[in-house]
Every structure is written in C-alpha cells, then in structure tokens.
Amino acid sequence: MQLTLALGTNLGNREQNLARARQSLMDYIGPLVARTAVVETPAWGVTDQPAFLNQVIVLDATRNLRGAHRAGARLTGKALVDQLHRWLDVCQHIEQTGGRERKLHWGPRTIDIDLIFADDVHFEDHRLSLPHPWWNKRDFVGGLLQRELADLFPQHYPPQPRLEEVLPSPTPFLEAFFAALPPQIHHLPIDHLCYRVANQTDYHNYRDALVAAGHELLTEAPISGRPIATFRLLTPVRFRGQAIHLLELPAPKTGSPYPAGYEHAEMVVDQSLPKFERWLLQHTTFAPEDLDQSGRNKPLNADLRIRLDHGMSIKFHEKPLDEIISIEQGQ
C-alpha cells in the first residue's frame, strides 16, 4: 500500500522542519516512492500569517503492515480501520515532537502532516477522511500532484506518454549507474539523462518521435559542432524516489561515433562546485586523478565530470539544465 502525505511548515527553520518530518515518516512508515519539489505558498484558510513551505510525498507503507497484508493481501474491515488510525497516530506524533501547538484552526505551525490518499481507499470516521476532502482544492496538494506526480495517480489524471514508448527503458542504466557511485552521493537529484544515438538518421528519428509523442522540446542548439535536443518529459522517469524530468539527445559528432544508449547522467550539487569537489575527495573513494575538470571554467554552469565503469560517466552542476536554458534564451 502507498500513502500520499502533504507536509507544510511556516514557523522556525522551515527547510529543516520538512526534512525532519520527511525522514521521520520514512522511518515509521516506509521508504520514499516519490516526492514533489518544495514550494512556498501563501497561508490557506487563515491568511494573516507567514508563508508556508509545502511538499507532497508518497511512501511505500507495505513494510508497516502485518502478516498476509505485508505479502500483498488487501486490508479490509477492522484491520483497515486500525491501520489507518495507526498511520494517523504516527503523523500526529511527528507533529507533536516537531513542536506543533494546536491553538488555532489553520493557524501557524512548525509542521503539519495530512494524509491525502491510502491507495484508492475511501474511508471516513470521526478522526479521518480519505481521500482528504480538500486535496484538490489546494494548489499546494492537488496542483503539485498534477504537475509532478500525475503518473502515479491514473485514477485522478489521464495517463501521459512515457519515455519508454520512444526510447529503451533507462532503468537498467540507472541500476548500473548507481551501483558505480559511492552511496554518499546517492541523495543528489538527477537533473537529466543523456541518450546517445549511433548516427544522424537515428537522431532525427528519435527527436521527431519524442516531439510527436508530446514531450516538450526546450531547445535544439549546436554544441561542439553538432545539435543537441533537450526535452522536458511529459511523464518523468522514476527511480529510487527520484523524478527525472529532462532528457538530452545529442547527435553524434563527426568522426566520433558512439554506441546507442544511455551514456551519462548529470546531478545538481547542494553547494558550490569547488566546495563540493573538496567534499567529494574527502568523503568518497574518488581521487584527484578521477576528476575531469575541463568544464570547471565554463562561464555558465561549470561542471565536474567523472568517468565510471562500462563507458558511463557522471557530471555535477550547480544549476539545473532547464534553468540554464531559460537564462540562455533570455540573453
């Protein structure tokens, strides 16, 4: 069973409040399936208070179940009611330990946790209503779900084309990619994937097929003597709780053919690139000679590259690719 929860905070260190609540929910309930971006929104209900940071997360709650239900049997009857109340108790316990004081309905709070969905369960009693009765009336819940997690909720949103309908599934590449990375950097968000093609004909065919499927062509620009098309995917690639929204499709360079397939991924770092480089050398097994620094002096979004096994590589940037494209298009 999957639980969808909405988190909000407008008191104290809001980023820290969200991070602590998210981790506590994962500890008590189960691993992360997906999460939206963190957004800042005006207060809802009682508007004369500070703005909130909001986020929606989806957790795999199967680990929290018992016996046959953990093996996939559907919860029903009293077992369902008891389990829903246990999850509600967990949310309220995390709110309480996070410093929430219930003085004013819709008032300011250090942390607020709402149960939105529990699979497709419809339930109501004196403590809990599922789905949450206000979920689709609040942009920081329904809007976030539609913009970022719609593919997980086909009962509410029509399915959109997936990358796998045009290109091979990136899952085998991502499995090998993360296996080659030190676990200390697994938390960094993957900004985009790169799929290489063997020839110009394949480049044009795949580019046109992605456009025809409805994926957004953000830009197609000549870089290093050949065009590179960048797409925002209608349905993100999901892997280990991450949502990957962007794809680079480079044409092959003249005289430098590549085997077709996913070749590298790029991550956005959570600090300056020089500081991240020092951290990387101190906390992982990478040595200075492993780091390709040829891109660190780029005037816009410098990068650090590391070549991995099996022809794969990783690049680190300070800014996401779509932000850089917006800057370039505005110049």
pTM of the predicted model as reported, rounded to 2 decimal places: 0.74
Asked if 269 and 226 sit in the same domain, the reply is: yes
pLDDT of the residue at 184: 92
Asked if 171 and 143 sit in the same domain, the reply is: no
Asked if 181 and 314 sit in the same domain, the reply is: yes
Strand duo 261-268 + 242-250: pairing: unpaired
Domain end residue (candidates: 152, 185, 210): 152
Asked if 148 and 199 sit in the same domain, the reply is: no
Asked if 220 and 187 sit in the same domain, the reply is: yes
158 domain residue, yes or no: no
Asked if 146 and 173 sit in the same domain, the reply is: no
pLDDT of the residue at 104: 60
| Residue 154: partners with Cβ closer than 8 Å, 6 or more residues away | none
Phi first, then psi, for residue 283 (nearest 5°) are -115, 0
DSSP character string of 2-66: EEEEEEEE-SSSHHHHHHHHHHHHHHHT--EEEE---EEE--SSS-SSPPEEEEEEEEE-GGGS-
Each of the 331 residues of the chain gets a pLDDT tens digit; together they read 899 999 999 988 999 999 999 999 999 999 999 998 899 988 876 777 888 999 999 999 987 675 545 545 577 788 888 889 999 999 999 998 877 766 666 668 889 999 999 998 999 898 999 999 888 888 888 888 988 888 899 888 888 889 999 999 999 999 999 999 999 999 888 999 999 999 999 999 999 999 999 999 999 999 888 999 999 999 999 998 888 999 999 999 887 767 899 999 999 998 899 999 999 999 999 999 999 988 888 888 889 999 998 889 999 999 999 999 988 887 6
| Beta bridge pairs of residue 264 | 194, 313
DSSP code at position 73: P
Q: Cα 256–197–164 angle (5° rounding)?
A: 160
Instruction: Give the span between the Cα atoms of 119 and 93, in whole angstroms.
Output: 22
Asked if 177 and 134 sit in the same domain, the reply is: no
Please report which residue ranges of the chain form alpha helices under DSSP H.
14-28, 67-70, 77-97, 144-148, 171-180, 200-212, 273-283, 321-330
**How far is CA 246 from each of CA 158, 218, 231, 252, rounded to the nearest angstrom?**
21, 9, 6, 19
Nearest to 227 by CA among 246, 255, 198, 248: 248
265 domain residue, yes or no: yes
Instruction: Give the span between the Cα atoms of 2 and 117, in whole angstroms.
Output: 8
Instruction: Give the span between the Cα atoms of 141 and 7, in whole angstroms.
Output: 9
Give the CATH number, domain containing residue 261: 3.10.180.10
Nearest to 229 by CA among 210, 248, 245: 248
Instruction: Give the span between the Cα atoms of 58 and 224, in whole angstroms.
Output: 41
Range of the domain at 238: 164-330
Total structural domains within the chain? 2
Report helix, strand and coil shares of the chain as percent, to nearest 5.
35, 30, 35
157 domain residue, yes or no: no
| Contact indicator for 191, 282 with CB cutoff of 8 Å | no
Which residue type does 328 have?
Answer: E
23 domain residue, yes or no: yes
Asked if 173 and 147 sit in the same domain, the reply is: no
Placement of tokens 């101190």 in the chain:
282
Domain end residue (candidates: 90, 120, 152): 152
